């Protein structure tokens, strides 16, 4: 932003921002406390948690904070939550066209991406994979936490499901973090998840269809007032 | 990984004296575990982290209306394809040159995955306290007295057995003895069979059972579970590779974006702003 104070538009509500970061923090703690078990290269992390028993305890506490955001958002901002769910389930031509152009943008080239929704197709994929992997991790994690209530075969299946959920979600998270804080083209989006607003110019460039809707709504408001 | 020596349990020779249990506790220095009377002459309900060997007493009605016990010396079978070993995320469980499956206590973190992975309910977690009073867990089970085998001795239970129900001998000798014993007991026990499940490439403890495996609570045809194959042979290596690939893509993007920036000056990359 080199043009002084750009015009901003509201993007995410306070509760959405809060649960996003709560979920992110919990995921990070879960990831770190599980890493020594996942790969032997991180065995030294056991010492950080005061031994395997300590790592298990931290993992279970973080697990609760990982599930909590869903409950909180359903109470605090159900509208925002269901808008998200509805959006990521909607797949149209402009969503599919996104992926043809995206690699160019990702590696720093110039891309002609068609106008996107409030959530662009990449964010939709990120959301769907996040929900899917979270469901895998939470369900299988619950079985692994309380194996005495489940048949042995179910517990034995919980391990690979937890394992696949971890691999997928970690891959998704790496891409997600990079695109929000690392990639120059979409850095402005991070502000939407911290302060809650984004520059209007950014909305126009990355979420054209949403921007058009905002403009239409403004016009209607103007008419009503005028 | 077939062992050259096998332990043979001929349950039809067992008289239920439980000397094997005592010898096991003695040699392995395991504490006694007191249990409530369960309405049976069997001393312990099942194997635990401190009781590696239980003589089970199955009460059965004979064909002519009489009563008999089916005894079984129950301890780790030391599977060639061991579920506990497959489940362990820390590579703490391994096979020795004797074919015995042993837990490396230094590597074990007490997660208990092996407890779920064992199809014979053999391995379990023992809870200990360190000097500061903090609790920690380690997986424990029969070692086939690997420490004795290393010294050229036989497993403690085998040494204690006075009916030759337990034998530790060369593989071929054990298998031919098992076959000839099977023929001898067929009249008395028509369901008798040799238990050396091939679904897990056999076990280092071979049984001559007097009845079907299920009568003794043993799986009829144990196999390496599909869930474990999916987990350890596919999910784990692919997951690790995938983390590598995404990390490489991000590193690639960082590099190519900074190259684009250098090339085009300041305007080039931030083309949206």
Question: Which positions in chain A have a beta carbon within 8 angstroms of at least one beta carbon in chain B?
Answer: 1-2, 37-40, 46, 51-53, 56, 106-110, 147, 152-153, 155-157, 159-160, 163-164, 166-168, 170-171, 174-175, 178, 182-185, 188, 199, 201-202, 205-206
Same domain, A147 and A214: yes
Report strand pairing: B193-195 vs B205-209. antiparallel
Nearest to A160 among B137, B230, B240 (CB): B230
pLDDT for residue B273: 38
Of the pLDDT bands very low, low, confident and very high (cuts 50, 70, 90), residue B272 is very low
Query: A156 vs B109: CB contact, 8 Å cut-off?
Result: no
**Whether residue B267 has pLDDT greater than 90:** no
Domain containing A15 equals: 10-77
Give the end of a domain, one of A21, A42, A77.
Answer: A77
- B262 in reach of chain A (CB within 8 A): no
Asked: is B83-141+225-262 a CATH 3.65.10.10 domain? The reply is no
What is the average per-residue pLDDT within B43-70? 92
Per domain, the residue ranges of chain B are 5-34+42-78+144-216, 83-141+225-262
- The neighbour count for residue A71, using CB atoms within 10 Å, is 10
Best to test chain B binding among A51, A147, A159 (most B CBs inside 10 Å): A159
B-chain CB neighbours of A185 within 8 Å are 269-272
B82/chain A closest Cα distance in angstroms: 14
A138 by DSSP, 3-state: which? helix
Over residues A179-202, the pLDDT tens digits come to 888 777 677 788 889 999 998 888
Which ipTM value was assigned to this complex?
Answer: 0.81
Same domain, A58 and A99: no
User: How many A-B residue pairs are in contact by the CB < 8 A criterion?
Assistant: 115
Of the pLDDT bands very low, low, confident and very high (cuts 50, 70, 90), residue A69 is very high
**Whether residue B155 has pLDDT greater than 60:** yes
- B255 in reach of chain A (CB within 8 A): no
Over residues B211-229, the pLDDT tens digits come to 999 999 999 999 999 999 9
Same domain, A225 and A129: yes
Same domain, A69 and A132: no
Return the residue of A nearest to B263 by Cα: A108
Whole-number average pLDDT of chain A: 89
Question: What is the crossing angle of helices A78-89 and A14-38, to 10°?
Answer: 70
CATH number assigned to the domain comprising residue A151: 1.20.950.20
- Distance CA(B73)–CA(A184), nearest Å, equals 69
Same domain, A157 and A57: no
A150 domain residue, yes or no: yes
Same domain, A99 and A69: no
pLDDT for residue A134: 96
How many percent of chain B have pLDDT more than 70?
94
Q: Which string of DSSP letters, residue by residue, matches A158-224? A: HHHHHHHHHHHHHHHHHHHHIIIII-GGGTTHHHHHHTSEEEHHHHHHH-HHHHHHHHHHHHHHHHH
- B257 in reach of chain A (CB within 8 A): yes
Query: A37 vs B261: CB contact, 8 Å cut-off?
Result: no
Same domain, A68 and A132: no
Q: How many domains does chain A have?
A: 2
Return the residue of B nearest to A206 by Cα: B272
What is the average per-residue pLDDT within A165-171? 89
Of the pLDDT bands very low, low, confident and very high (cuts 50, 70, 90), residue A3 is low
Selecting from 1.20.1260.10, 3.40.30.10, 3.30.70.20, 3.90.1150.10, what CATH number does the domain B5-34+42-78+144-216 have? 3.30.70.20
Same domain, A62 and A113: no
């Amino acid at each position: 932003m080199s043009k002084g104070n750009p015009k901003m538009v509201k993007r995410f509500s306070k509760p959405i921002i809060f649960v996003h970061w709560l979920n992110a923090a919990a995921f990070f703690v879960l990831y770190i406390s599980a890493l020594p078990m996942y790969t032997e290269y991180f065995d030294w992390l056991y010492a950080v948690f005061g031994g395997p028993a300590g790592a298990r305890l931290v993992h279970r506490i973080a697990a609760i904070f990982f599930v909590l955001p869903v409950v909180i958002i359903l109470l605090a901002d159900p509208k925002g939550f269901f808008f998200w769910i509805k959006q990521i389930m909607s797949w149209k031509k402009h969503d599919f066209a996104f992926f043809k152009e995206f690699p160019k943008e990702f590696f720093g080239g110039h891309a002609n991406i068609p106008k996107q929704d409030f959530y662009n197709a990449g964010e939709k994929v990120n959301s769907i994979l996040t929900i899917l992997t979270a469901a895998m991790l939470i369900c299988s994690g619950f079985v692994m936490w309380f194996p005495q209530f489940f048949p042995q075969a179910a517990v034995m299946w919980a391990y690979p499901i937890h394992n696949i959920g971890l691999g997928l979600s970690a891959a998704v998270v790496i891409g997600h973090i990079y695109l929000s804080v690392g990639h120059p083209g979409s850095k402005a989006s991070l502000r939407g998840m911290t302060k809650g607003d984004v520059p209007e110019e950014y909305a126009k460039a990355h979420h054209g269809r949403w921007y058009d809707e905002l403009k239409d709504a403004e016009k209607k408001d103007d008419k009503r007032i005028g | 990984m077939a062992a050259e020596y096998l332990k043979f349990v001929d349950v039809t020779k067992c008289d239920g004296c439980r000397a094997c249990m005592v010898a096991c506790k003695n040699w392995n220095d395991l504490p006694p575990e007191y249990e409530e009377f369960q309405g049976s002459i069997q001393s312990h309900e099942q194997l635990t982290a401190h009781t590696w060997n239980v003589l089970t007493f199955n009460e059965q009605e004979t064909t002519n209306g009489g009563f008999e016990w089916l005894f079984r010396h129950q301890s780790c079978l030391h599977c060639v394809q061991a579920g506990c070993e497959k489940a362990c995320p820390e590579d703490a469980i391994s096979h020795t040159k004797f074919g015995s499956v042993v837990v490396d206590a230094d590597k074990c973190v007490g997660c208990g995955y092996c407890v779920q992975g064992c199809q014979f309910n053999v391995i379990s977690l023992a809870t200990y306290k360190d000097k500061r009073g903090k609790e920690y867990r380690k997986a424990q089970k029969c070692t086939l007295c690997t420490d004795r085998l290393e010294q050229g001795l036989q497993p403690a239970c085998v040494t204690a057995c006075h009916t030759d129900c337990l034998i530790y001998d060369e593989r071929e000798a054990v298998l031919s003895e098992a076959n000839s014993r099977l023929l001898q007991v067929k009249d008395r026990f028509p369901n008798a069979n040799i238990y050396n499940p091939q679904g897990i490439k056999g076990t280092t403890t071979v049984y001559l059972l007097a009845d079907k495996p299920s009568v003794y609570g043993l799986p009829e045809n144990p196999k390496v579970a599909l869930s474990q194959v999916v987990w350890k042979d596919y999910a784990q290596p692919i997951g690790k590779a995938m983390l590598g690939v995404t990390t490489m893509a991000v590193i690639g993007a960082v590099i190519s974006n900074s190259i684009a920036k250098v090339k085009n000056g300041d305007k080039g990359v931030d083309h949206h702003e």
